[in-house]
Structure 1
Amino acid sequence: MAYRAARRHDPIALVWYAKADKKRLHPEQLAWWAREALRAGRWSAVLAAIRAMPATERQRETWRYWKARALKAKGQVTKANALLAALSVKHSYYGQLANEDLGEAIGPLPANYRANRREMAAIEKLPGIRRALLLYRLGMRYDGIREWNRAIRGLHDKALLAAAELAYRNHWYDRAINTANRTRALHDYALRYPTPHYHLMTAYTRKLGLDEAWVYGLIRQESRFAAGVRSSAGAYGMMQVMPATGRWIAKRLGIRHFHQRSLIDLDTNIAFGTYYLKHVLDLMDDQTVLATAAYNAGPLRAARWRAARPMAGAVYVETIPFTETRHYVQKVMSNAVYYASSFGRRLVSLKQRLGTILGASTETQTAGG
């Protein structure tokens, strides 16, 4: 009962959790005890829930971070900062938050390591890489991915970055990102956070007044810039636009004879995806966290997850009931920070981007689209 109530954000959940036998709660139930305590600002309960978790759960970045935040709220700053310092080296959402809590922030991205001609030539000769590229060019994308992943297994950083560069040159952006993400010591952030179709993209983001770093961050999470794909759920293209959403947008734009297959077209996909993103941003009071959640899970759910009072954006995100949407919003907002840095934009920290989520209103709770 407590677990189900917590996932509904029912305040009675904390009353029931207080009465529960903690030893009989499984890790997911304990996680939602911590989340609901976090939502209520009950830091002692957050610490109690984390202490009750199995050791493997306590070591997750999520709970290491929120334990640090709870300790700091309780005045145990030295212990909190030690936990944050250990997390701050992670290239992750929680690593970014930990850095910012320690007074640091992401600056200009470090210099990239660029593969030289010799390294590129060596990668191009690998039979597995050649087979993968051939399969990709023949439209056998998933077979190509399997072949590519086998070919790069065990490669050192310089070879991985050469492979990532080769994928990028062949417009295989998801493999470029995936491969560049695997490096340990040498990095190329331009390959981790690529900006394909920049002029087309910015034509729409500027027309609609959207933050291009946020839009790029969202697309990186949606599809890794795979333009001609259709998901198992039926969403099309780089911005993963659903057919029903496409029909709704076409009607709004006065487009006659719309067919869902047109969503594969790059220009149409970006036009429709950015239009819908602007629509949900307007519905969500210009709060990008809410709009990101709405793009993934729908405006009604994103609005329903708000509290009656304002709350920190990081708390809203942590207490999103859908695991997929929670991770999605974390990745998109984290990506946006790196993209803004790569564009040389004014620094907006992750915590600033998460902001404060305004209290729910009747209008936004009933919004659709």
Structure 2
Amino acid sequence: MTRTFARVLRHGALLGGVALTIPAWTAPATAAPAAVAPVDTGAADAGADARLIGAPTLEQIPDQLDAEQRGAYRQVFAAIRDGKWTDAQIQLDTMKPGPLHAIARAEMYTAKGSPRVELEPLVALLNEAPELPEAEQVARLASLRGAVGLPPLPVAQRLIWQDGAPRRVRAKSLKGDLIAADLALKMQPYVKADMGREAQSLLDSTVGLTPEALTEWQQKISWIYFLQGDDANARVMAAKAQDGVGEWAVQARWVGALSAWRQNDCASAGAGFEGVAARAGDVDLRAAALYWTARSDMVCGRPDKIEGRLKTAAQFSESFYGQLARQQLAMKDKGTRVGGVVASDWNVVGKRPNVRVAAALVEVGETDLADTVIRQQAKIGDPREFAHLVRVAEALSLPATTVWLAHNCPQGVTSTAEARYPTPNWTPDSGWRVEKALVYAHTLEESRFRNSVRSPAGAYGLMQIMPAAATDFARERGTSIDLKALTKPSTNMDIGQRHLERLRDMAGVTGGLLPKVIAAYNAGPRPVGDWNAIVHDNGDPLLYIESIPYWETRGYVTTVLRNYWMYEAQGGKKASTSRTALSQGMWPRFPGLPGAVAVRMNATPNRRASASTATLGNAMQPNIAVNARVGMQSTTVTRAD
């Protein structure tokens, strides 16, 4: 045992300069939450996360149009969108030819319901701008008119899909098994009501299941027991499933390890998490298992193993737990690029007609069309210019384009993490009330910055705002709002940040705790209020996150927090307050609240978990397991998934 790790073991103090979490049950329970000051994050970067300094801006790209041209082209494109073909044609003909004449004509010629265009103007357009995204369609029209010997069009290269940041992969149910399908129907009421014993009894009475189906249901029942706080039965069922077949076996091992952790059985928990790390097929779960194994090593007095686990987890630097591991190891974030890079990028790609057209389109508010043009340039452009194109797209405040480019690259080109976290130069209608990094973290997960996207549930735009919620917020301000306004970034983000504030201020639901606010944004405040009564987290924020009953919300919380930290680092913040808090077993509060930035939560015992510990004969002396609760008790039962 080295001197450093011996000191860690004795005091729970530093590992590489940052404290490694000791679970809440290793200390006596207290009756109320205690505010604890965070580690010093350095005064020099105060506010940096709100500014997102260093992001490229439109000012670094020269104007393509003068004021008169902007006004005239806005009229042209408005006429095209409204189907006023004659007005658009007259406006173009009376203007001096400019950067957007060709694409305006291309849009008009190819628009649904537009008048027939004869051969001569089609050929003229192809000769003038063969690189435009409409060129192939224009060429087909020309061929239908009898054209021969058309100018050659640029050859589009195949772009290769590249995966982004890690995500937890959900195990898939077995398909095509009639017995399993019948069992699933019979299980529905027990799953919805979290009735573990009844579900287990039904499973025990079902014969003819394949090994894969049996493993799946054993895991699901172990999860129901875990949600109930019945760790003993959760471990029994998980132990059966973890020796089964398929990906559900790994998920069962994970539930068993979490149950052992909650029972204060660090040895069994550590073995379980280590088994998950060795078997997990996805990066996110592997990083999580490595981090939780390190936590178990800490509690069990195995400091010599901690650093190696954390270093392995830290390799997955874009995962939630990889970020926490980096925090534990005091690894520095890369930070943002230096200013002035975009000027040199423009020197490379600014000579490309499509890039100049896209820049001009942004000036007149035609951002969707600018997105199409940039994508076309990515397909026909020199792969050596691709990175420059990505940075120019971000400087043009085309974040959806930037994200698309980050996932669709030419052969031999690898996208950077930076491209996956764009920082458009936008401002909400009422200014920034919530940290920009946190708003963008939600926006990236909600819509990938697609301002016109609509969900099956009817949510609109960047932050997926429901029309009813938008109406409520507008009424509070004495105004009205229509659906079209929700596609406007400044309006959508303003409503989104106000909704975050409202969730923040729900003392009986979120208590202003950041993980719960994020969960409520996804699942709604009512489920989060219910979970305050049924989730047995022992005051541990990470255990709370892993115990959230909804699969989607569990993933949403970790993804948004990861996004938040990436944006903070990209914006020049030297140390993330929320990441530091979580790495120390503390609950980060919503940024900007007065008082402590993080709290340590202790509350009422989880008697079922404590009794189960005694039943298993744990060699450790179990302290009372404690559960962080915020708000009123609730008997509402949530679904298990």
Q: Distance in 1 between matches of 2:308 and 2:489?
A: 47
Q: How many residues align?
A: 352
* Cα deviation digits, residues 61-106 of structure 1 (max 9, x gap): 2212222222222222222211211222333222211111223353
Partner AA of 2:236 in structure 1: A
Does structure 1 conserve the Cα–Cα contact (< 8 Å) formed by 2:437 and 2:567? yes
> Secondary structure of the equivalent of 1:311?
coil
> Secondary structure of the equivalent of 1:26?
helix
The residue number in structure 1 matching 2:545 is 317
Q: Distance in 2 between matches of 1:228 and 1:169?
A: 20
Does structure 1 conserve the Cα–Cα contact (< 8 Å) formed by 2:222 and 2:255? no
Give 1:328 deviation, angstroms: 1.9
Which structure has more helix as a fraction of its residues?
1
Does structure 2 conserve the Cα–Cα contact (< 8 Å) formed by 1:39 and 1:316? no
Does structure 1 conserve the Cα–Cα contact (< 8 Å) formed by 2:443 and 2:463? yes
1:74-89 alignment runs, 5 A limit: 74-89=300-315
> Secondary structure of the equivalent of 2:496?
helix
Does structure 1 conserve the Cα–Cα contact (< 8 Å) formed by 2:257 and 2:269? yes
Unpaired runs of at least 5, structure 2: 1-195, 197-218, 588-599, 602-627, 637-641
Q: Distance in 2 between matches of 1:294 and 1:329?
A: 9
Does structure 2 conserve the Cα–Cα contact (< 8 Å) formed by 1:71 and 1:77? yes
The residue number in structure 1 matching 2:229 is 11
The residue number in structure 1 matching 2:593 is none
* Cα deviation digits, residues 330-359 of structure 1 (max 9, x gap): 122122223334444573344335432742
Q: Distance in 1 between matches of 2:273 and 2:381?
A: 36
- Say whether 1:274 aligns with 2:491: no
1:1-369 alignment runs, 5 A limit: 1=196, 3-4=220-221, 6-7=223-224, 9-18=227-236, 20-21=239-240, 22-24=242-244, 26-50=249-273, 53=276, 55-57=278-280, 60-92=286-318, 93-106=320-333, 108-109=335-336, 111=338, 116-117=345-346, 119-120=348-349, 151=379, 159-180=385-406, 187=416, 189=418, 191-200=419-428, 203-206=430-433, 210-256=434-480, 258-283=481-506, 284-306=510-532, 307=535, 311-345=539-573, 347-352=575-580, 354=582, 355-356=586-587, 358=601, 359-363=628-632
Q: Distance in 1 between matches of 2:514 and 2:311?
A: 28
Q: Distance in 2 between matches of 1:119 and 1:56?
A: 46
* Cα deviation digits, residues 192-236 of structure 1 (max 9, x gap): 4333244437x4433xxx333222222222223222222233211
Specify whether residues 309 and 61 from structure 1 end up closer, same or farther in structure 2 by C-alpha distance, changes over 3 A only. Answer: closer
Q: Percent identity?
A: 23
Give 1:240 deviation, angstroms: 1.0
Specify whether residues 154 and 182 from structure 1 end up closer, same or farther in structure 2 by C-alpha distance, changes over 3 A only. Answer: farther
Unpaired runs of at least 5, structure 1: none
> Secondary structure of the equivalent of 1:230?
coil
Does structure 1 conserve the Cα–Cα contact (< 8 Å) formed by 2:518 and 2:557? yes
Does structure 1 conserve the Cα–Cα contact (< 8 Å) formed by 2:426 and 2:489? no
Structure number, greater radius of gyration: 2
Q: Distance in 2 between matches of 1:148 and 1:173?
A: 16
Does structure 2 conserve the Cα–Cα contact (< 8 Å) formed by 1:107 and 1:347? no
Q: Distance in 2 between matches of 1:35 and 1:243?
A: 39
Specify whether residues 192 and 3 from structure 1 end up closer, same or farther in structure 2 by C-alpha distance, changes over 3 A only. Answer: closer
Give 1:108 deviation, angstroms: 4.1
Does structure 2 conserve the Cα–Cα contact (< 8 Å) formed by 1:97 and 1:350? no
Specify whether residues 107 and 4 from structure 1 end up closer, same or farther in structure 2 by C-alpha distance, changes over 3 A only. Answer: same
Highest RCO, 1 vs 2 (Cα 8 Å, sep ≥ 6): 2
Does structure 1 conserve the Cα–Cα contact (< 8 Å) formed by 2:443 and 2:462? yes
Partner AA of 1:151 in structure 2: K
The residue number in structure 1 matching 2:621 is none
Partner AA of 1:95 in structure 2: G
Q: Distance in 2 between matches of 1:122 and 1:78?
A: 57
Q: Distance in 1 between matches of 2:337 and 2:303?
A: 30
